[in-house]
Amino acid sequence: MVSHSNRNEKNDTESNNNNSWYDKTSGKSESSWFANAQTIKFGKLDKDISKDVVIVGGGIAGISTAYLLSKTGKEVAVVEDGYVGSGETGRTTAHITNALDDRYYNIERLYGKNGAYIAAQSHTAAINLVDSIVKEEKIDCDFERLDGFLFLDPSDDKNSLEKELEATHSAGITDTELIDKAPLNSFNTGPCLRFPNQAQFQPLKYLAGLAHIIVRNGGEIFTQTHAQDIGSNGITTSEGHKINAKIAVVIATNAPIRDETSKIYDKQRAYRTYVIGARMKRDSIPKSLYWDTGDKTSKNMAPPYHYVRVQNMENGEDGRYDLLIIGGEDHQTGTNPETSEKEKEERFTKLAVWAKERFPIEEIEYRWSGQVMETINSLAFIGHNPGDANNIYVATGDSGNGMTHGTIAGMLLTDLILGKDNQWSSLYDPSRKVNEDESQGSSSPSQGENDDDGKEQDKDNNLASTIEALALDDGIIKQQQEKNKKPIAIYKDNNGTVQAFSAVCTHLGCTVTWNSLEKSFDCPCHGSRFSNKGTVINGPANSDLECEDS
């Protein structure tokens, strides 16, 4: 048994075997965006520098914030431990919409009519901003405006559409309408809500365009650079280099990696969501966004729903075709008992069966999963990090609307950093009170709650036999025989080399589980994730799993 390699070391054999996926993304499965766009890579930080604003995280929130600040003349630096877009932005399905997953009638119940109005106004403004940026900066990212259609899940009834229609109108989205069916010939949706003027794009092409402009405006972007320590004066990387922040620090890492005082992890839950991309003949269905209202029998905090869009593709000799992108089958990160490869496969099978019953799809070309941070009370947390210095800001809790929430973060944080009033600030304030009974389903497990998950944990006292039985490119959590000894996380790569780590999450000490699809170790408590080499790939943890000596 050997310990995992240092964060800064490379292994050519692993790269050749595609085991170093964590260098460019947060899971081993590959989204259609990664397969059809250039890697957005910049140099590593290799010296100490000083900037007005340091932004940790190179996804839609961090890059949008950097772009908007750079346009005002501020000196910005973006630090990303992978590549730009390599986190959850590169695993989204990229719906740009003011139709909120958590429904306006729920937003109105939680925040009042004015709160629902601000939510609608801000998400609409986000769509319009992306539209204007694409036009002004001439970014080629397949952006287009289109309609969105919300139709009923079999577990739901028309009353939910009628309530949402009334709530959207009350919130100022007055062009929604209840129609008899979506304009599809392949299946009858039944009654649905039409949301005009929604949008979609290729997210990595959009980020590439913004990144180019940030650099043109004098900003700097550093990839494969891990921000290990974060404070009001700036950041220090895992290699010891520093960026001094003269004005502000922004943490835009999906889940905040500085949460000792804010405890934002108690206000949101991490969910895994699954996506397939299926080939279709060009123009088989109208290009729109399609969503069902979600499984009302689910115990999830947010009922899992299906979300669908169309992406035009060009593929060499195969010519032009459409890719139907279908997502759904969500479950809370690290807690689902379906841990085997076969059972994970069933989630994609369910998506394929659901899609084939409704759309003229051919073969499945892409399969991937992503991570969604669901806040207990539906809206993102964007603003000052609670309990921290006034110049440290966070953006998290996208609740399935990451493209608009991330863009809102860019607008709101830019105003806050520049000292401008913004009427959205109180609605998205990370310090706002959250009541557990506002959630619709399961809560986060307590620390160590999964320690006795028999299917995930291997309790065979013979470590050698466990390793011998472990398949290549597979992992397991092993209980140790000695009393009071913590379990270990074991991974066997494609060459048969075994590596072992402490299975204790470096965030708050929960026991991680093995994710057979993405080849990662995932924490069921707060959604932290680690690669099969022990490297942290998703917060709130910010340090690698501790290696176990042979």
pLDDT 10s digits, 389-445: 899 999 999 999 999 999 999 999 999 999 999 999 999 999 998 876 555 444 445
Tell which wins on pLDDT, 33 or 14.
Answer: 33
Tell which wins on pLDDT, 529 or 25.
Answer: 529
Per the CB < 8 A criterion, the answer to whether 281 and 295 are in contact is: no
Contacts of 115 (CB under 8 A, 6+ apart): 107, 108, 427
Per the CB < 8 A criterion, the answer to whether 410 and 67 are in contact is: yes
Strands (E) located in 351-416:
364-375, 381-384, 392-396
Tell which wins on pLDDT, 76 or 17.
Answer: 76
Q: According to the model, what pLDDT value does residue 208 have?
A: 98
Query: Would you state the structure tokens that stand for residue 433, as one six-digit string?
Result: 């009170």
d(CA 543, CA 301): 28
Structural domain contains residue 496: yes
For residue 253, the tally of other CB atoms under 10 A from its CB is 29
Mean pLDDT, to the nearest integer, of 67-88?
A: 97
Q: According to the model, what pLDDT value does residue 433 have?
A: 87
Q: According to the model, what pLDDT value does residue 510 have?
A: 94
Q: How many structural domains does the chain have?
A: 1
Local confidence band at 234 (pLDDT 50, 70, 90 cut-offs): very high
d(CA 107, CA 90): 28
Query: Would you state the structure tokens that stand for residue 339, as one six-digit string?
Result: 């841990």
Q: According to the model, what pLDDT value does residue 391 have?
A: 95
Local confidence band at 262 (pLDDT 50, 70, 90 cut-offs): confident
Mean pLDDT, to the nearest integer, of 74-97?
A: 96
With a pLDDT cut of 70, the percent of the chain lying above it is: 88
Q: What would the pLDDT profile of 500-510 be if each residue is shown by its tens digit?
A: 999 999 999 99
Residue 330: pLDDT above 50?
yes
> Average per-residue pLDDT in the chain?
89
Q: Which range among 94-98, 199-203, 333-337 shows the weakest confidence by mean pLDDT? A: 333-337
For 155, what's the count of Cα atoms within 13 Å in the CB-facing half-sphere?
11
Enclosing domain of residue 502: 449-538
Structural domain contains residue 516: yes
Residue 498: pLDDT above 90?
yes
Instruction: Please state whether the peptide bond connecting residue 540 to the residue before it is cis, i.e. omega within 30 degrees of 0.
Output: yes
Dihedral angle of Cα 169, 171, 172, 173, to the nearest 10 degrees: -60
Residue of 77, 335, 317 lying closest to 221 (CA atoms): 77
Structural domain contains residue 485: yes
Residue of 210, 262, 263, 227 lying closest to 55 (CA atoms): 227
Instruction: Give the DSSP H/E element, type plus range, for residue 34.
Output: helix 32-35
d(CA 278, CA 362): 6
Query: Would you state the structure tokens that stand for residue 105, as one six-digit string?
Result: 């009638």
Residue 339: pLDDT above 80?
no
Tell which wins on pLDDT, 13 or 237.
Answer: 237
Q: Which range among 90-104, 230-244, 342-356, 364-378 shows the weakest confidence by mean pLDDT? A: 342-356
d(CA 355, CA 442): 27
Residue 235: pLDDT above 80?
yes
Local confidence band at 197 (pLDDT 50, 70, 90 cut-offs): very high
Structural domain contains residue 197: no
Residue 2: pLDDT above 60?
no
Residue 317: pLDDT above 70?
no
Q: Which range among 25-34, 338-347, 483-492 shows the weakest confidence by mean pLDDT? A: 338-347
Q: According to the model, what pLDDT value does residue 285 have?
A: 96
Give, as one character, the DSSP assignment of residue 267. Answer: G
Q: According to the model, what pLDDT value does residue 460 have?
A: 54
Tell which wins on pLDDT, 257 or 439.
Answer: 257
As a whole number of Å, the end-to-end CA separation of the chain is 5
Q: According to the model, what pLDDT value does residue 436 have?
A: 60
Q: What would the pLDDT profile of 442-480 be if each residue is shown by its tens digit?
A: 444 544 444 444 344 555 567 788 888 899 999 999 987
Radius of gyration of the chain (CA): 23
For residue 312, the tally of other CB atoms under 10 A from its CB is 14
Contacts of 301 (CB under 8 A, 6+ apart): 269, 332, 374, 376, 439, 440, 441, 442, 443
Mean pLDDT, to the nearest integer, of 102-131?
A: 97
* Side chain identity at residue 225, one-letter code: T
Local confidence band at 36 (pLDDT 50, 70, 90 cut-offs): confident
Per the CB < 8 A criterion, the answer to whether 252 and 414 are in contact is: no
Contacts 24+ apart (CB under 8 A), 478-484: 478/503
Structural domain contains residue 515: yes
Q: Which range among 136-140, 169-173, 213-217, 314-318 shows the weakest confidence by mean pLDDT? A: 314-318
* Side chain identity at residue 496, one-letter code: G
Query: Would you state the structure tokens that stand for residue 139, as one six-digit string?
Result: 């970014």
Structural domain contains residue 157: no
Q: According to the model, what pLDDT value does residue 396 have?
A: 97
Query: Would you state the structure tokens that stand for residue 164, as one six-digit string?
Result: 């949402």
Structural domain contains residue 195: no
Structural domain contains residue 318: no
Residue of 254, 259, 250, 372 lying closest to 307 (CA atoms): 372
Domain containing residue 496: CATH number: 2.102.10.10
Per the CB < 8 A criterion, the answer to whether 264 and 444 are in contact is: no
Q: How far is CA 51 from each of CA 67, 233, 410, 510, 548, rounded to the nearest angstrom?
A: 14, 10, 18, 36, 39
Give, as one character, the DSSP assignment of residue 361. Answer: -
Contacts of 12 (CB under 8 A, 6+ apart): none
Give, as one character, the DSSP assignment of residue 470. Answer: S
